[in-house]
Amino acid sequence: MRVSLKDVAEQAGVSIKTVSNVVNKYEHVTPATREKVQAAIDALGYRPNLTARHLRKGRTGIIALAVPELGNPYFAELAGAVVDTAAEHDYTVLLDHTQGRRERELLVTQGFRARVIDGLILNPLELEAEDLASRTDEAPLVLIGERRYDLPYDHIAIDNIAAARAAVRHLLDIGRRRIAFLGARGDRHSHPAHLRLLGWQAELAASGVTADEALIARVEGWDRADGATAMAALLDAGQHPDAVFAYNDLIAIGAMRVMAERGLRVPQDVAVVGFDDLTEGRYGAVTLTTVAPDKRAIARMAVESIVGRLTDGPPEEAPGGGPRQLQPEFALLERESTVGRSAGPPLD
């Protein structure tokens, strides 16, 4: 038999309203009463009916998360963090992947799941500002990822230029000067690949090192094979960098495979820095130095932005005014691919 609020109230010796206040995490309950009610909840195994709770508020209790590729470990790890954070707010997450295609990104933003979701967290790659400006769906939208839009939506992204500069600065500090960038793509100035390229250029210029355009390798995608192809193309063209800054960890891992096949040692011959801090990078034969975005913070900010918009209304109506530009922290994690093997612990 399902345990009810009434059962918990009788067990704790309080009113049903008091139990409801505790379950709904209202603040105006004394610590002693909250502890007594929680003990009754634990003893009886009470589980709130989240569906009924959301329906009473005119909501479904579902947040959608749309990312370019769930097969990419970065997005898989981020999705896990979003699911965990959403659960803390009694929300379920509906996952979708857009394959980085404009038509699929348009589909998820134009209300194709109207009345099914309460809000959408989207990492767009191909949408332009006018695509999002024409959105008519009233469910709150929060943007994650590094593409910048001057639009009335909360946006959460690390500072890509600063992160790239930190990576290049590390390579310069260990004495490298011919630093290749693997991951250039197209001419879209708002794309994260372009922002990381700008960071590469800016840090080299600030250090008085010529940014050799021949050391910029373009890629077609973001996977290991793309990194391998880009690195092989550089070497086949007679370019021999003493360091590589890769757009992401997967490209770095693919590049390191080609280096091993060509007899190049990491980091002795070529130092390598990736981006994303994937678990895979911590367990290779040579562990990967990487820029680590705070994925947990990104997830927390995204979910809390959706929950906040559901409570306070859209940016133009909410207390404090317009959309928020939130910037999570990042860290450069130095590992064997730049500093070699040490006697210390192998993992960060």
Same domain, 201 and 185: yes
45/234 Cα distance (integer angstroms) = 62
202-256 residue pLDDT tens: 999 999 999 999 999 999 888 999 999 999 999 999 999 999 999 999 999 999 9
Q: Is 345 exposed, middle or buried (0-12, 13-18, 19+ CB in 10 A)?
A: exposed
Same domain, 94 and 172: no
314/138 Cα distance (integer angstroms) = 9
140 in any annotated domain: yes
Query: Which residue range forms the structural domain that includes residue 304?
Result: 56-158+295-317
Non-local (6+) Cβ contacts of 294 within 8 A are 158, 328, 329, 330, 331
- Other CB atoms within 10 A of residue 50 CB: 12
Same domain, 142 and 215: no
- Got the DSSP string for 60-100? -SEEEEEES-TTSHHHHHHHHHHHHHHHHTT-EEEEEE-TT
105/126 Cα distance (integer angstroms) = 8
> How far is Cα of residue 230 from the mean position of the Cα atoms in its chain?
25
Higher pLDDT, 276 or 42: 276
For the entire predicted model, the pTM comes to: 0.79
Return the amino acid letter for 243.
A
45-74 residue pLDDT tens: 777 655 445 444 556 889 999 999 888 899
- Tell me if 164 sits within 8 A of 199, measured CB to CB: yes
- Other CB atoms within 10 A of residue 245 CB: 31
313 in any annotated domain: yes
59/51 Cα distance (integer angstroms) = 9
Tell me the pLDDT band of 112, cut-offs 50, 70 and 90: low
- Lookup: tokens for 244: 């590589």
User: Which range has highest mean pLDDT (27-41, 144-158, 192-206)?
Assistant: 192-206
21-40 residue pLDDT tens: 777 777 778 888 888 888 88
Same domain, 87 and 126: yes
Non-local (6+) Cβ contacts of 134 within 8 A are none
346 in any annotated domain: no
Higher pLDDT, 181 or 35: 181
Kindly tell me if the per-residue pLDDT of 159 is higher than 80: yes
125 in any annotated domain: yes
344 in any annotated domain: no
272 in any annotated domain: yes
Domains of the chain: total: 3
- Tell me if 265 sits within 8 A of 285, measured CB to CB: no
Mean pLDDT of 108-130: 84
Kindly tell me if the per-residue pLDDT of 175 is higher than 80: yes
- Other CB atoms within 10 A of residue 24 CB: 11
User: Which range has highest mean pLDDT (8-17, 197-206, 311-320)?
Assistant: 197-206
